[in-house]
């Protein structure tokens, strides 16, 4: 579904990605893990069109994404749940969800999908007309995921979804990702919590200083990898 080959990116003189390659197959959860500054978020930004690569290829269903606007990429079936959730606290839960339907033209189906995400995340129905600022961090993460799902993505990207959440809410978020994968949504997950993400994902890539240090299947990585050492380059 997604093929990234020799991807490089920089911010001015600072090189964020040197030359990374990875694949995401339909129906998978794939994790990209690594310490802060490894290039994880930059990878997602390049895929979603908010960072222009300096080299390399990004193809989705065989078509290049490089040079496309973020709006066109969303309409191709890719949605991002950004780091820090980035919900609009001054708007209601309902208004935040409505923003998720913006790329769509099938308004009747979009309204039905809003009901679907409210069924999946009942707390959002409870606070539907309330300000999103009233939600806890975990509830805001549910809102961010629900908003992304309303664009009907085939590929869902998540940037540090466990960041700042209580353990019980992290459990709920990760359970939701499995449910979405089982419902036919392919997931690309960026996480600093390596052991937890690798245990969830079908395959994982460990980034360090803008390069893929290790990659492999779940059981292989959990059995053989000391993630602290991998992060430090040992």
Domain boundaries, the chain: 2-232
Q: How much is the pTM?
A: 0.90
81 burial via Cβ count (<10 Å: 0-12, 13-18, 19+):
buried
pLDDT at 36: 85
Count of C-beta atoms within a 10 Å radius of residue 210? 23
Q: In degrees, to the nearest 5, what angle opens at C-alpha 65 toward C-alphas 10 and 38? A: 35
C-beta separation of 218 from 198 below 8 A: yes
Which pLDDT score is estimated for 16?
Answer: 94
Helix ranges (H only) for 121-159 are 122-126, 137-149
Number of Cβ within a 10 Å radius of residue 13: 5
Q: Which fold has domain 2-232?
A: Rossmann fold (3.40.50)
CA-nearest of 78, 22, 6 to 47 is: 78
Q: Which two tokens stand for residue 27?
A: 């129906």
Look at residue 233 in the predicted model and tell me its pLDDT.
Answer: 63
Q: Which residues contact 118 (CB under 8 A, 6 or more apart)?
A: 124, 125, 128, 146
58 contact partners, CB below 8 Å, separation of at least 6: 2, 3, 4, 7, 46, 47, 64, 65, 66
State the pLDDT at residue 234. 54
Per-residue pLDDT of the chain (234 residues; tens, 9 = 90+): 999 999 999 999 899 999 999 999 999 999 999 888 889 999 999 999 999 999 999 999 999 999 999 999 999 999 999 988 789 999 999 999 999 988 777 878 888 999 999 999 999 999 999 999 999 998 999 999 999 999 999 999 999 998 888 889 899 999 999 999 999 999 999 988 888 899 999 999 999 889 998 899 998 888 877 776 776 665
């Amino acid at each position: 579904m997604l093929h990234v080959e020799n991807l490089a990116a920089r911010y001015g003189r600072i090189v964020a990605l040197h030359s990374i390659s990875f694949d995401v197959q339909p129906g998978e959860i794939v994790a990209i893990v690594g310490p802060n500054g490894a290039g994880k978020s930059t990878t997602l930004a390049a895929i979603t069109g908010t960072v222009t690569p300096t080299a390399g290829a990004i193809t989705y269903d065989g078509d290049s994404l490089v040079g496309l606007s973020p709006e066109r990429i969303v309409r191709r079936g890719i949605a991002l749940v950004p780091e820090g959730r980035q919900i609009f606290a001054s708007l209601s839960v309902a208004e935040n969800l409505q923003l998720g339907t913006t790329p769509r033209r099938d308004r009747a189906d979009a309204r039905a999908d809003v009901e679907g995400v409210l069924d999946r995340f009942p707390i959002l129905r409870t606070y539907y007309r309330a300000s999103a600022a009233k939600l806890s961090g975990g509830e805001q993460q549910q809102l961010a995921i629900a908003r992304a799902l309303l664009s009907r993505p085939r590929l869902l990207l998540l940037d540090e979804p466990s960041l700042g959440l209580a353990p019980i809410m992290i459990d709920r978020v990760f359970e939701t990702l499995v449910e979405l994968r089982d419902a036919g949504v392919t997931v690309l997950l960026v996480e600093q919590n390596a052991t937890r993400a690798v245990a969830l994902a079908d395959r994982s890539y460990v980034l360090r200083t803008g390069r893929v240090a290790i990659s492999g299947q779940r059981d292989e990585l959990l059995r053989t990898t000391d993630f602290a050492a991998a992060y430090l380059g040992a």
